[in-house]
Amino acid sequence: MSDSEQNPKKSIEEIDQVTIRFAGDSGDGMQLTGSQFTETTGIVGNDLATLPDYPAEIRAPAGSLAGVSSYQIQFGREDIQTPGDQPDVLVVMNPAALKVNLPELRTHGIIIANTATFNKRNLELAGFEANPLDDDSLNEYKLVSIDMTMLVEKALEDLGLPSKVMARSTNMFALGLLYWLYDRPMENTFTFIESKFKSRPEIVEANKRALQAGYNYGRTTRLISTSYTVTKATLPAGTYRNIMGNHAIALGLVAAGQKSGLRLVYAGYPITPASDILHMVSNYKNFGVITFQAEDEIAAVTSAIGASFAGALAVTGTSGPGMALKTEAIGLAVSAELPLVLINVQRGGPSTGLPTKTEQADLFQAMYGRNSETPVVVLAAATPVDCFNMAYEACRIAIEHMIPVILLSDSYLGNGSEPWLLPSMDDLPNIENRKVSSSNGEFHPFAITDPSTMARPWAVPGTPGLEHRIGGLEKDALTGSVSYEAENHEHMVHRRQQKVEVIADRIPPLSVFGDDKGELLVLGWGSTFGPIRSAVTRLRSKGHAVSHAHLNYLNPFPKNLGDVLVKFPRVLIPELNMGQLSRLIRAEYLINTLSYNKIQGKPFTASEIEAQVLDILKETRDAG
Amino acid sequence: MPDSGASEAMQALSRKDFTSDQTVRWCPGCGDYSILAQVQKTFPELGRNKEEFVFVSGIGCSSRFPYYMNTYGFHTIHGRATAVATGLKLANPDLSVWVVTGDGDGLSIGGNHLIHLLRRNLDINLLLFNNRIYGLTKGQYSPTSEFGKVTKSTPQGSIDWPFNPPSLALGAAATFIARSVDVEGKHLQEMIKAAYRHHGTSFLEIYQNCLIFNDNAFASITGKDDKEDHQLILEHGQPLLFGKDKSKGIAMDGPRPVVIDLADGKHSVNDVLVHDKTDRMIALILSEMTYRPEFPTPLGIFYEIEIKTYEDLIYEQIERAVEKSGLGDMQAILHAGHTWEIK
């Protein structure tokens, strides 16, 4: 190497935020690369949000469009609410990754491509007639072509590894290059590599060298003339970690078990994208937690109901098709007035649908998907971190009110991550259970002794003197004995509805981001929080009288929701469905809502919501 | 162990203690009355406090059972009692959990949960009331009805082949398989006690007469005059003898079981197969006699082995996790992985 190569003239630019996307074949390790970049980025003090996107097939044919896996991260100084609308940098490990991801790359964005994979076969598989790296089809982007595979092989040549094994470290080269480009330290990833491959020292060495080679390549060549420092975020002081939504749910459940003093029993059946919750809870056995992989979705929910009858904090988690199977059993839990938490990590439907893609179209299922009048509490998490809060809250409500609670998450939240200012256990609200150990006089298992919670006493088997029978037949409102009496049935139907309604007195009111009056309110629920909040922040900074309110509680609604809505002449409800919340709001509050729907298996971008709001504001002004 | 839950303060209980205040509403003459009576008679002898018993059922005539027992009870949904009982037992392994199910509830809609309960081997006692018909829905054929059965839903005869419950249980790796009959009160009581004593899932099939929709389904083995010729009473370590004066036996002719006549002068009791309840092959031979008119119907314990229960293993895993990582510390797992400070 010549001197000039070692000390090229390079500029360093300071930027506020950036969005990058790693894309490759599902075997290229893009999820690992992305999550390493994310960890390091959190450690250096940026705010961030991530979006993994991977195929349903574990190994789609190599090089095919169906097999493309990607990981996007936005990070920077400001309050980062979404993984970014359009990547500024796209790393592509093969032609298919370029083909699939190019349409979303920002104009003049940077493409970093591993040229080694752009051979005839891969180009054909991706549907390219000519090599796009060689013609001028990518002229409107900044193209950086690197033969990463060859450079990795060179860096590892004395290790005596087969080329196939060496090629597996190519993702570390790309990661190293991006670490250089955005001025991140490599130590965290070095540590990760050492621990992940600790039984195979040659693989540790290979990956570390590949990472270093990528970093050095950026520093010493002139292919990329500018590197960036990204301003740190001004986040509240405290200890942080990155957390994915599914992991946050698992932690929320364990925390609720600890705080309530009840044994957590989590029953599940493997289903994408909810299985991770089962995996993660299974790692907390030293908390006395029981996890049970049932033979099917029905056994998962019914075994949870059995555990609840026995006095445990009983939880089952699944995705939409699994919820459909649990329907009848949820009715039993409603009828038996037992505490039960059901988690639905939603995915695209109907039927098997889009198992790895996001959607929020199970709201009606949660609200109404049962025979007869069978109301349950419905909550929704807004962000990956909020998954912790709402899982805890679902447990609190279920236990304190002796009622089943459905918590809606989705694939985007479950697999997405963001930095989490770690809470203290002392800050979490207490959870009081309704267990009884004796009775003054005759015991009435269905008597409601506390009108504020409408909870019945929880007399669990093993308690002497309180033996009783419950079941799915209609029960007498006091004794719980089977009753076919007409008036009693009507009373019980109303009672089950009221049990949901009284919860509105024990949840926080809906808060409004921005002014509580204005031209337009964007009302959201679930994972649309990030893009809505980003869009409304931008609109407000441009002077528009737009506010944002976000519902964590969908049944019951917060008590002040009607008062919030009437202060705005227009209410826009963006949803990743055909307008389910919109219909609930119309039915409940008799107001004209505007729906904005996207059903592509992808989250909204902030720009889409911003543009939609601007269109509405323009239309109303033009009309006025 | 199942009897370890008895507290020192326990008082002697009687049949009345296990009788609830609910009026029993099965049809007059239903075999379920006898089964209920045998359970209520047996339970005081088990040496457990009544609050430790839980009856779980699904849907069907038999599934009303929990309402009539003055213990804890859960009348759940169709086919799911086994799964509900699984969660119950996992959450509190100290309870004595009993599932009452029928041939429709347990083998049709609940077939999946039943086989998985058996293979997991939780310490749950399962009483399968087999009347070979759907009673509560008024007389459709069930998964144990014979081929060709004419019912309301099969006017030309059923074209389903019936399950053989003990063979199904063997195939599902059950650790206790037994059979009794509603009208053989004493035998049934013995089987209930044996099911209770077994540490693991106990599968007890009880032939039960439905006099409304399938009367006399088991007449051949309950007939007063010749039942000895049709009942093969199983006793561990004893030769498989049956018939009046125990004059007949089951012997092996090569790989095939045959009925031999001990009075014919050619055979002696030494030729008769000796029952070993721990031998799966013998259990299979016995269970395959079901539905074969050339053989008597085995009653008693077909098979029993002791292995660790599912809940034993779960709680062992919890103990090991605590030994390895210490008792769970929430603050520690919140702060696990890579954390960083913002000042």
Digit-coded pLDDT (tens) for B218-254 = 998 998 889 999 999 999 999 999 999 999 999 999 9
Residue B281 exposure: Cα atoms within 13 Å on the Cβ side: 6
- Rounded to the nearest angstrom, the minimum Cα separation between A198 and chain B is 17
Selecting from B69, B87, B331 the residue whose C-beta is nearest the C-beta of A305 gives: B87
CB contact under 8 A, A306 and B89: yes
CB contact under 8 A, A461 and B51: yes
| Peptide linkage before A350 cis (omega within 30 of 0) | yes
Q: What is the 3-state secondary structure (H, E, C) of A43-81?
A: HCCCEEEEEEECCCCCCCCCCCHHHEEEEEEEEECCCCC
| Peptide linkage before A457 cis (omega within 30 of 0) | no
Q: Give the CA radius of gyration of chain A.
A: 27
* Amino acid (one-letter) located at A256: A
Please check whether residues A525 and A452 belong to one and the same domain.
Answer: no
Q: How far apart are CA A192 and CA A247, in angstroms?
A: 19
Which one, of A387, A281, A407, A401, lies nearest residue A339 by Cα?
Answer: A401
CB contact under 8 A, A310 and B338: no
* Amino acid (one-letter) located at A367: M
End-of-domain residue from the set A171, A195, A230: A230
Which chain A positions have a beta carbon within 8 Å of B112's beta carbon? 295-296, 299
Number of domains in chain A: 3
CB contact under 8 A, A265 and B94: no
User: Which pLDDT score is estimated for B94?
Assistant: 98
Please check whether residues A536 and A497 belong to one and the same domain.
Answer: no
User: Which pLDDT score is estimated for A462?
Assistant: 98
Which chain A positions have a beta carbon within 8 Å of B326's beta carbon? 286
Q: What is the 8-class DSSP label of residue B22?
A: S
Selecting from A251, A310, A463 the residue whose C-beta is nearest the C-beta of B91 gives: A310
Provide the 3-class DSSP secondary structure of residue A585.
helix
Please check whether residues A410 and A380 belong to one and the same domain.
Answer: yes
Please report whether residue A235 resides in a domain: no
Contact A557, A551 (CB under 8 A): yes
CB contact under 8 A, B343 and A284: no
Please check whether residues A220 and A314 belong to one and the same domain.
Answer: no
Please report whether residue A172 resides in a domain: yes
Please report whether residue A78 resides in a domain: yes
A481 touches chain B (CB under 8 A): yes
Q: How far apart are CA A20 and CA A84, in angstroms?
A: 8
Please check whether residues A302 and A408 belong to one and the same domain.
Answer: yes
Please check whether residues A186 and A247 belong to one and the same domain.
Answer: no
* Mean pLDDT, range B115-139, rounded to an integer: 97
Please report whether residue A569 resides in a domain: yes
Q: What token pair was written down for B213?
A: 């929709």
Would you say residue B297 has pLDDT above 90?
A: yes
Q: How far apart are CA A551 and CA A508, in angstroms?
A: 11
Which chain A positions have a beta carbon within 8 Å of B72's beta carbon? 461-462, 467-469
Q: Which residues pair with A143 in a beta bridge?
A: A111
Q: Which domain holds residue A410?
A: 242-507
Q: Could you tell me the CATH number of the domain that includes residue A470? A: 3.40.50.970
% of chain B residues with pLDDT over 90: 93
User: Which pLDDT score is estimated for A9?
Assistant: 55
Which chain A positions have a beta carbon within 8 Å of B84's beta carbon? 302-303, 305-306, 309
Provide the 3-class DSSP secondary structure of residue A135.
coil
Which chain B positions have a beta carbon within 8 Å of A482's beta carbon? 22, 67
Which chain B positions have a beta carbon within 8 Å of A309's beta carbon? 74, 84, 87-88
Q: Is the dihedral of CA A453, A455, A459, A465 positive or negative?
A: positive
Q: Cα B140 vs. chain centroid, distance in angstroms?
A: 23
Which chain A positions have a beta carbon within 8 Å of B321's beta carbon? 285-286
B7 confidence band (pLDDT: 50, 70, 90): very low
Residue in A closest to B321 by C-alpha? A286
State the Cα angle at A332 between B43 and A450, rounded to 5°: 90
Provide the 3-class DSSP secondary structure of residue A249.
helix
Please check whether residues A220 and A255 belong to one and the same domain.
Answer: no
Burial status of residue A200 (CB atoms within 10 A of its CB: 0-12, 13-18, 19 or more): exposed
Provide the 3-class DSSP secondary structure of residue B49.
coil
Question: Residue A538: which H helix or E strand, with range?
Answer: helix A529-541
Please check whether residues A152 and A186 belong to one and the same domain.
Answer: yes
End-of-domain residue from the set A452, A476, A507: A507
Please check whether residues A63 and A118 belong to one and the same domain.
Answer: yes
Residue A406 exposure: Cα atoms within 13 Å on the Cβ side: 37
Please check whether residues A69 and A185 belong to one and the same domain.
Answer: yes
Residue A64 exposure: Cα atoms within 13 Å on the Cβ side: 9
Which segments of chain A have a pLDDT < 70?
Answer: 1-10
% of chain B residues with pLDDT over 70: 97
Which one, of A617, A608, A605, lies nearest residue A520 by Cα?
Answer: A617
Please check whether residues A366 and A383 belong to one and the same domain.
Answer: yes
* Mean pLDDT, range B247-270, rounded to an integer: 95
Contact A356, A55 (CB under 8 A): yes
Please check whether residues A194 and A276 belong to one and the same domain.
Answer: no
Q: Could you tell me the CATH number of the domain that includes residue A610? A: 3.40.50.920
End-of-domain residue from the set A479, A507, A535: A507
Mean pLDDT check: name the lowest of A449-463, B7-21, B308-322.
B7-21
Q: What is the 3-state secondary structure (H, E, C) of A273-308?
A: CCHHHHHHHHCCHHHCCEEEECCCHHHHHHHHHHHH
Q: Which residues pair with B130 in a beta bridge?
A: B207
User: Which pLDDT score is estimated for B10?
Assistant: 59
Which chain B positions have a beta carbon within 8 Å of A330's beta carbon? none
- For residue B236, how many other CB atoms are within 10 A of its CB? 12
For chain B, how far is it from start to end, CA to CA, in angstroms?
56
pLDDT in tens, B157-198: 999 999 999 999 999 999 999 999 999 999 999 999 999 999
Please report whether residue A237 resides in a domain: no
Count A/B contacts: CB-CB distance under 8 Å.
208
Residue in B closest to A239 by C-alpha? B341
Q: How far apart are CA A407 and CA A396, in angstroms?
A: 12
CB contact under 8 A, B77 and A472: yes
Q: Is the dihedral of CA A361, A363, A364, A369 positive or negative?
A: positive
Question: Which residue is associated with the tokens 């949660």?
Answer: A366
Please report whether residue A254 resides in a domain: yes
Q: Which residues pair with A549 in a beta bridge?
A: A512, A523
What sections of A127-181 are H helices per DSSP? 148-155, 163-167, 170-181
CB contact under 8 A, B22 and A237: no
Contact A379, A406 (CB under 8 A): yes
Pick the CATH number of B2-217 from 3.10.180.10, 3.40.50.300, 3.40.50.970, 3.40.50.510: 3.40.50.970
User: Which pLDDT score is estimated for A2?
Assistant: 40
Mutation to test the A interface, candidates B53, B317, B334, B335, most A Cβ within 10 Å: B334
Q: Could you tell me the CATH number of the domain that includes residue A115? A: 3.40.920.10
Residue in A closest to B55 by C-alpha? A469
User: Which pLDDT score is estimated for B11?
Assistant: 67
Q: Is the dihedral of CA B112, B115, B119, B120 positive or negative?
A: positive
CB contact under 8 A, B328 and A423: no
- Rounded to the nearest angstrom, the minimum Cα separation between B283 and chain A is 26
Interface of A with B in 327-366 (CB under 8 A): 328-329, 331-332, 336
